[in-house]
């Protein structure tokens, strides 16, 4: 399939690496408002041509798939034009800034017979796929609780703390947290899909003008099932922790520094089971530390799930079947974000 | 002349401003919107017009360059990941050159670096001059070298596409107050110890005030148009001599573990071989063990400043001992600020950066 990329910021490196190595994709074009950036990306990842005008790119390169990797406020307009040009769209999160915008864009894609796929990359990281398998195999029992917690020191420097040229994410409905909230949402919804009650506390603990919010604490309730979504920039070290608790067992992981801690009934009965769990998990932790050292040495990043997501998405597009991130997945995540914003500070 | 200096409050930029004013020029000094420049005491100086702008955005850049005779493009980003440095070095230059074309300003002095040279292609003790090969495949170099190479390409394109009158200056290691250590010496091991790579290798240094003077001369002189100049001082020290000179002016002294060039080169070749043979060259190796980076830092080469001296009638004013003494003590900043009151040198510890490290 002929593929093109719009936007050559940080995340583009992962998309372009995939496209440069993939047998399913032929990277025909890279587009960025900066000619130097577009040209550099095209040269580095062996794209056929670079553009600074995406409409010209759509017209001349005629891609089958366009990856939209620009700031979120531009996604809907760009995706609409790409769909109109006959291209499938793979879009960085959030695909739209409200549920209404999302459903309208989805209808447009459906009318034109094109796929619209939002990047839910962490759902395809190995630890998450393992947790899904544990659930499918009945190891956890019925899932009752989920905790998703991201800690990032975004106030201590870097692109979000830059006061010289404030990051466009500061202007999103949930401020900078909007840039991360899709990840928290789709992970929680993967295990507890239909919350009937949502509450959220949005805070700006530092109280400055640059950040709209720097903290989120949200609770979802679906019948007797509970989920908690946390974003914090005041606790360290950085982590992306996921805990899933079922009726039989619980499992924990950190997607930034992967490990797996599974607490389940083990041989030895009620009295020895905790000890056996600790021994087994201790060994797993030692194994994970070597694995993470290898990942660091071999430059493998937490974006490993993005490559699986793209690989499966291209496979689905080629076979004309539903992509791995479905309408329901995107619809639920988008709706939940709206609900959390609406329920802001009614906790 | 009316000179625009970008990255004006940084390590080199503030000295360029001072030199330009001393030589009788009017200066428009571009600083970032959030930069604290109180310590420089530029406010109220008739020769210095301060303009706050972030060059990563095209907004109001045409106004920034409007009416100047020459632009000294000094802003760059030395820290952060590749994309941070690309934005702070390449996008800034692209936007600046676009604004210059819009405002019909043709004269450009682009501050580049020795990092653009491909020392891997050179032999031991070969002369490095302005004709030496540039790195055309800098994949194993650091982000700084990668982005500065693209920045130079943009300057050449500006000359070609907009009939720009371009001079490229490539300083060696610029040293001065708060910037006395250089990674070319080797690797710091804790607080007061270092691995001194290639103790007998010549260190291509230029003291920041000497360098700033050469840059201002390049903007002034007609014969500099179309030229590229390497800027280094006279009587270059070896790595060991430079460290000894530093130690004469600092307490506690830095203890060094000397690592001969040939041994270090062998270790880097070995690391590359293992990476290629067993790890498909995917392993991230410290820069000191990457041949491309190691050769750029520590290869024993010869250097010349003949072209810049002859063409610009430039002569480095301060020798190394005096320069280190000026850097080590609390310098009287009469030479930095146009007024005679001494000022504190705490404006921009991270030199000429447009943006800071990204998470």
Q: Which of B354, B359, B356 minimizes the C-alpha distance to B90?
A: B354
Q: Which residues of A touch B84 (CB under 8 A)?
A: 158-159
Per-residue model confidence as pLDDT tens digits over B264-274: 999 999 999 99
- In chain A, which residue's Cα lies nearest the Cα of B281? A298
Q: Which of A13, A37, A158 sits opposite B358 (nearest CB)?
A: A158
Instruction: Please state, in angstroms and rounded to a whole number, the distance separating the CA atoms of residues B37 and B345.
Output: 10
Alpha carbon dihedral B346, B350, B352, B353, in 10-degree steps, equals: -130
E-strand stretches of chain A:
2-6, 26-31, 49-51, 65-68, 88-91, 116-118, 143-151, 197-203, 215-222, 225-232, 239-246, 250-254, 261-263
- Given an 8 Å threshold on Cβ–Cβ distance, is B32 in contact with A164? yes
Query: Would you call A237 an interface residue with chain B, using a CB distance cutoff of 8 Å?
Result: no
Q: Do B56 and A165 touch (CB under 8 A)?
A: yes
Cis peptide before A237 (omega within 30 of 0): yes
Q: Between chains, do B94 and A35 touch, taking CB under 8 Å as contact?
A: yes
Q: Are A224 and A144 contacting, i.e. CB atoms less than 8 angstroms apart?
A: yes
> With an 8 Å Cβ cutoff, is A321 touching chain B?
no
Tens-place pLDDT, residues B135-172: 998 988 999 999 999 999 999 999 999 999 999 999 99
Task: Give tens-digit pLDDT for B35-48.
Answer: 999 888 888 889 99
∠ CA B95-A51-B63, nearest 5°, is 20
∠ CA(A118), CA(A121), CA(A127), 5° rounding? 150
Least confident range of A249-263, A268-282, B220-234: A268-282
Point out the residue among A36, A164, A298 whose CB comes nearest to the CB of B34. Answer: A164
Question: CB distance A36–B57 less than 8 Å?
Answer: no
Residue B356 has pLDDT above 60, yes or no: no
Phi, psi for residue B156 in degrees, rounded to 5: -65, -40
What per-residue confidence (pLDDT) applies to A345? 60
Q: Give CA–CA dist A240/A304, Å, rounded.
A: 14
**If you count residue pairs, one on A and one on B, with CB atoms under 8 Å apart, how many are there?**
69
Per-residue model confidence as pLDDT tens digits over B96-115: 999 999 999 999 999 999 99
Q: What is the DSSP string of A3-23?
A: EEEE--STTHHHHHHHHHH-S
**Residue A325 pLDDT grade (very low, low, confident, very high; cuts 50, 70, 90):** very high
Read off the pLDDT of each residue in A46-72 and give the average, rounded to a whole number. 98
Closest listed residue to residue A246, CA positions, set A266, A229, A224:
A224
For chain A, the C-alpha Rg in angstroms (whole number) is 21
Would you say A65 and A317 are in contact if contact means Cβ atoms under 8 Å apart?
Answer: yes
Contacts of B309 (CB under 8 A, 6+ apart): B315
Structure tokens at B185: 């010496």
Do B284 and A297 count as a contact with CB atoms less than 8 A apart?
yes
Query: For residue range A10-36, what is the model confidence (pLDDT) as tens digits?
Result: 999 999 999 999 999 999 999 999 999
- For the segment A189-242, what is each residue's pLDDT rounded down to a tens digit? 999 999 999 999 999 999 999 999 999 999 999 999 999 999 999 999 999 999
- Evaluate whether A2-118 and A123-258+302-306+335-342 have a shared fold: no
Which residues from B are below 8 Å from A298, CB to CB? 279, 282-284
pLDDT in tens, A258-300: 999 999 999 888 889 999 999 999 999 999 999 999 999 998 8
Residue whose entry in the numeric block shows the structure tokens 């030895």: A268
**pLDDT of the residue at A271:** 87
What CATH fold (topology level) applies to the domain A123-258+302-306+335-342?
A: Dihydrodipicolinate Reductase; domain 2 (3.30.360)
Which of the following CATH numbers is that of domain A2-118: 3.20.20.70, 3.40.50.720, 3.10.20.30, 3.60.60.10?
A: 3.40.50.720
A216, β-bridge pairs: A202, A231
Cβ(A142)–Cβ(A238) under 8 Å? no
Burial label, B314 (beta-carbon count in 10 A; 0-12, 13-18, 19+): buried
Which pLDDT belongs to residue A346?
56
Q: Which residues pair with A118 in a beta bridge?
A: A91
Query: Which residues on A lie below 8 Å from B35 (Cβ)?
Result: 164
- Kindly determine whether residue B358 and residue A36, on different chains, have CB atoms separated by under 8 Å: no
The string of pLDDT tens digits covering residues A88-105 is: 999 999 999 999 999 999
CB atoms under 10 Å from CB of B195, counted, come to 15
Q: Are A164 and B354 within 8 A, CB to CB?
A: yes
Do B229 and B311 form a contact (C-beta atoms < 8 A)?
Answer: yes
Q: Cα(B123)–Cα(B116) distance, rounded to whole angstroms?
A: 17
Q: Which two tokens stand for residue A139?
A: 């190891």
Which residues have C-beta within 8 Å of that of residue B109, sequence separation ≥ 6?
B70, B71, B72, B73, B166, B167, B168, B169, B215, B218, B219, B224
How many C-beta neighbours within 10 Å does residue A285 have? Answer: 12
Q: What is d(CA B254, CA B278) in angstroms, rounded to the nearest whole number?
A: 37
Termini Cα distance of chain B: 41
Contacts of B90 in chain A (CB under 8 A): 34, 36-37, 40
Whether the per-residue pLDDT at B334 is higher than 50: the answer is no
**Mean per-residue pLDDT of chain B:** 90
Q: What is the mean pLDDT of chain A?
A: 96
Q: List the structure tokens of B95.
A: 């936007």
Interface pTM (ipTM) of the complex?
0.91
Closest CA to B342 of B39, B74, B18, B61: B39
Q: Can you give the residue ranges of every domain in chain A?
A: 2-118, 123-258+302-306+335-342
Indicate which of A10, A15, A165, A166 best probes the interface with B, i.e. most B CBs within 10 Å of its own CB: A165
The enclosing H or E element of A306 equals helix A304-319
């Amino acid at each position: 399939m002929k593929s093109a990329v719009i936007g050559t910021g940080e995340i583009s490196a992962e998309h372009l690496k995939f496209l440069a190595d993939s047998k399913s994709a032929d990277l025909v074009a890279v587009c960025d408002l900066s000619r130097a950036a577009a040209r550099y990306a095209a040269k580095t990842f062996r794209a056929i041509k670079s553009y600074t005008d995406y409409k010209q790119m759509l017209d001349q390169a005629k891609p089958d798939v366009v990856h939209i990797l620009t700031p979120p406020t531009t996604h809907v307009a760009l995706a609409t034009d790409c769909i109109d040009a006959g291209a499938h769209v793979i879009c960085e999160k959030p695909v739209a800034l409200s549920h209404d915008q999302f459903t309208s864009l989805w209808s447009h894609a459906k009318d034109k017979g094109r796929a619209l796929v939002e990047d839910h990359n962490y759902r395809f990281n190995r630890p998450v796929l393992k947790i899904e398998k544990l659930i499918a195999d009945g190891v956890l029992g019925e899932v009752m609780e989920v905790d998703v917690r991201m800690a990032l020191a975004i106030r201590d420097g870097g692109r979000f703390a830059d006061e010289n040229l404030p990051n466009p994410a500061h202007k999103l409905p949930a401020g900078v947290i909007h840039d991360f909230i899709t990840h928290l949402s789709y992970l929680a919804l993967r295990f507890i899909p239909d919350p009937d009650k949502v509450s959220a506390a949005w805070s700006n603990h530092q109280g400055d003008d640059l950040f709209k919010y720097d903290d989120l604490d949200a609770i979802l309730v679906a019948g007797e099932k509970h989920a908690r979504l946390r974003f914090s920039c005041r606790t360290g070290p950085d982590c992306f922790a996921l805990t899933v608790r079922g009726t039989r067992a619980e499992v924990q992981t950190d997607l930034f520094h992967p490990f797996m801690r599974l607490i389940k009934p083990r041989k030895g009965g009620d009295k020895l089971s905790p000890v056996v769990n600790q021994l087994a998990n201790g060994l797993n932790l030692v194994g994970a530390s070597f694995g993470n050292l290898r990942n660091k040495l071999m430059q493998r990043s937490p974006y490993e799930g993005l490559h699986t997501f793209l690989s499966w998405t291209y496979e689905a597009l080629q076979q004309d079947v539903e992509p791995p991130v479905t309408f329901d997945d995107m619809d639920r995540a988008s709706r939940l974000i709206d609900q959390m914003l609406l329920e802001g500070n009614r906790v | 002349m009316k000179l625009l200096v970008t990255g004006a409050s940084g390590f080199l930029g503030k000295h360029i401003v001072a030199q330009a004013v001393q030589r009788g020029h009017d200066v428009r000094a571009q600083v970032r919107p959030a930069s604290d420049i109180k310590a420089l005491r530029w406010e109220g100086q008739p020769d210095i017009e301060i303009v706050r702008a972030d060059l990563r955005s095209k907004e109001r850049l045409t106004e920034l360059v409007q009416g100047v005779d020459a632009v000294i493009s000094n802003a760059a980003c030395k820290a952060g990941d590749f994309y941070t440095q690309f934005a702070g070095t390449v996008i800034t230059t692209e936007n600046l050159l676009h604004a210059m074309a819009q405002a019909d300003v043709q004269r450009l002095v682009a501050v580049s670096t020795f990092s653009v040279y491909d020392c891997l292609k050179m032999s031991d003790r070969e002369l490095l001059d302005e004709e030496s090969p540039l790195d055309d495949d800098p994949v194993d170099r650091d982000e700084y070298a990668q982005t500065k190479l693209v920045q130079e390409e943009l300057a050449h394109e500006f000359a070609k596409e907009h009939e720009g009158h371009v001079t490229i200056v490539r300083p060696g290691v610029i040293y001065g107050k708060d910037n006395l250590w250089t990674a070319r010496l080797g690797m710091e091991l804790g607080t007061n110890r270092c691995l001194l790579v290639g103790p007998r290798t010549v260190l291509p240094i230029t003291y920041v005030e000497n360098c700033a003077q050469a840059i201002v001369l390049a903007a002034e002189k007609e014969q500099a148009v179309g030229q590229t100049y390497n800027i280094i001082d006279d009587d270059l020290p070896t790595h060991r001599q430079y460290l000894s000179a530093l130690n004469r002016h600092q307490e506690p002294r830095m203890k060094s573990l000397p690592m001969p060039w040939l041994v270090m080169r062998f270790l880097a070749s070995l690391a590359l071989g293992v990476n290629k043979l067993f790890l498909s060259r995917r392993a991230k190796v410290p820069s000191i063990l990457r041949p491309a980076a190691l050769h750029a830092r520590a290869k024993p080469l010869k250097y010349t400043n003949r072209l810049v001296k002859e063409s610009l009638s430039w002569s480095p004013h301060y020798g190394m001992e005096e320069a280190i003494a000026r850097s080590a003590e609390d310098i009287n900043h009469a030479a930095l600020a146009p007024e005679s009151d001494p000022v504190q040198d705490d404006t921009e510890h991270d030199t000429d950066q447009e943006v800071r490290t990204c998470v």
